[in-house]
Amino acid sequence: MIWMLLSILSGAAFGHIMRHAQVRQRHMAWVGAWNYLSAALAAWVWLGLQPAAGLNWPAAVLGTLCGASYVGAFFVLDHAIRAAGVGITLSVQWLGVALPVAASILFWGEIPSLMQALGLGLAALSLPLLATGPSAPDAPRGRWRIAFLFSLFLLEGIVGLTMKVYSQRVPAGSERAFLCCMFSGAAAGSILAAWRLAPPRRADLAHGVGMGASNVLCNFTFLRALALLSGTVVFPTISAGSVALTAVLGWLLWGERYQGRTLAGLVFAALALVAINA
């Protein structure tokens, strides 16, 4: 239970550290770069503690592709949080899991359970509610909000789909190597993007390292929870718990208010994540 709680807390911390960086007017490209660089260093140290979990080409290629998707998702996440607030944005991000589930049904012939089918329906219902409902008090109005949220949903779905391909094609035992390549690819891409925009600043380092630490802790505790408990317990608990905690903290810390369509969307999103992962 403690591993699931830590995963929920660290996952929520990532989004709220990012929001704090925005409020403090940090250079978000460099915050993202420091985030992925610190996460990559931690992942390589972790791999070094168990060299038997070695690298292989499929893990390297798929991990790097996943990391590249993370770079795009980070920049969209930055704009989406500004436009819709932390609670709504991270809920949409979690809903990206619906895409690899749908792909599993279409391309791998997996037969969904009744609960999974219900979850996919709730996800399809919650997305437009979250995208068009009331947003954060200081968020700009307009179509860009919808575009950012749906782009984030698609990019997170691509990340999940890449991980699904990895689980289908790569033998078990190279998960640490996959995470190393994923974070390293994201670090390389984000540093190149940030360097073209501005030189690095010391002021951006603390937020980036904080996000990187929460990133690594979230993945580590998630894997530890899966090693000790059934996936049917871990996945719905962490995903729904993260949506609920992020929304509550968004209300307490940033004055985000959820009512009408937005509140309904958050409830449907949490129920969808429980059903999809049941």
The lowest-confidence range among 38-52, 74-88, 111-125, 187-201 is: 38-52
Q: What is the mean pLDDT of the chain?
A: 86
pTM: 0.88
Cα distance between residue 73 and residue 25, in whole Å? 20
C-alpha pair distances (Å), 244 with each of 87, 88, 91, 152, 174: 8, 10, 9, 19, 32
Q: Which residues contact 163 (CB under 8 A, 6 or more apart)?
A: 62, 66, 100
pLDDT of residue 153: 93
Asked whether the predicted pLDDT for residue 227 surpasses 80, the reply is: no
pLDDT in tens, 43-96: 888 888 776 556 678 878 888 888 888 899 999 999 999 888 899 999 999 998
pLDDT of residue 140: 59
